[in-house]
Structure 1
Amino acid sequence: MPTYHYRCRNCGYDFTMQQSFSDDPITVCPECAQEQVRKVYSAPPIEFKGSGFYRTDGASTSSK
């Protein structure tokens, strides 16, 4: 289940919530009870696996 990050525009409260894709977004702040909550979007984490991502993984040099 994905985890979403929310922030209240009224009081600035930050929180995360696990929700299904079919759930409605949260709009009411759990701290101040105002309808000022919005999702915070950020870049997803990137994880490089396998060869070819590091300087030492470059193409092998062959002697002619």
Structure 2
Amino acid sequence: MPIYEYKCKSCGETFEARQKFSDPALNSCKVCGAADVTKLISQTAFSLKGGGWYQQGYGGSSKPAACPSGGGEGAGCGGCPKAANG
């Protein structure tokens, strides 16, 4: 569930609320109870968890060797279709 940030116009406090996308916006302050709050646009945290494309191919500093162009059969490609076909 996303965390939304709100600011009360009466007391000036900023607070967060964990809400579903389908939940309506809050209309009262959690601190003073006033009915004058606005939803703020703030920077969100974004995190990819678990395995995936980044860890399997793009995250490491070592990169696979490029296929040599016109380098004869099996020259450094290790099973590359280009090397097998010549």
Q: Above 0.5 in TM-score?
A: yes
The aligned residue for residue 21 of structure 2 is 21
Tell me the C-alpha RMSD between the 2 structures.
2.9
Q: Work out the number of aligned pairs and report it.
A: 62
Q: Which has the higher contact order (CA 8 A, sep 6+)?
A: 1
Q: Which runs of 5+ in 1 are unaligned?
A: 52-64
Cα deviation, 1:34-62, whole Å, max 9, x if unaligned, reads 11111111244578xx66xxxxxxxxxxx
- Give 1 or 2 for the bigger CA radius of gyration: 2
**More strand as a share of residues:** 1
For the structure 1 residues 10 and 45, does the alpha-carbon distance in structure 2 shift closer, same or farther, using more than 3 Å as the test? same
Aligned equivalents of 2:46 and 2:2: distance in 1?
Answer: 16
Q: TM-score normalized by structure 2?
A: 0.49
**More helix as a share of residues:** 2
Identity of aligned residues (%): 35
Runs of 4+ in structure 1 deviating by more than 4 angstroms, as ranges, are: none
